[in-house]
Amino acid sequence: MQKYSVNQHLIETILSWVKSGEIWIPKIQRPYVWDSSSKVCDLMDCLYQGYPVGYIIAWKNRNVKLKDGSLSEGKKVLID
């Protein structure tokens, strides 16, 4: 059984997962830590310029407790 896979997705695809409720934040995820909007602007600029920005790690597990208290029930859960 394959333990993990590495896939490339467009930022539009990831945003569509967020909008559709397909990806969630688990209770174990740390709180938002960026203290300035300049970091957010820098990230958006990197995306706009087409620069690599690292990895997003998502986990599909049906029994992960989410920030809202519910269970993930097979949704993608944002790990990092």
| pLDDT, tens digit (0-9, with 9 covering 90-100), for 46-65 | 888 988 888 888 777 778 88
Q: Model-level pTM?
A: 0.62
**Amino acid identity for residue 16 in this structure:** S
Evaluate whether 79 touches 57 at the Cβ level (below 8 Å): yes
Q: Residue 59's closest CA among 25, 11, 31, 32? A: 25
- Mean pLDDT across 11-30: 83
Order the strands of the 58-60 sheet from edge to edge. 23-24, 76-78, 58-60
- pLDDT at 1 > cutoff 70: no
Three-class SS of residue 66? strand
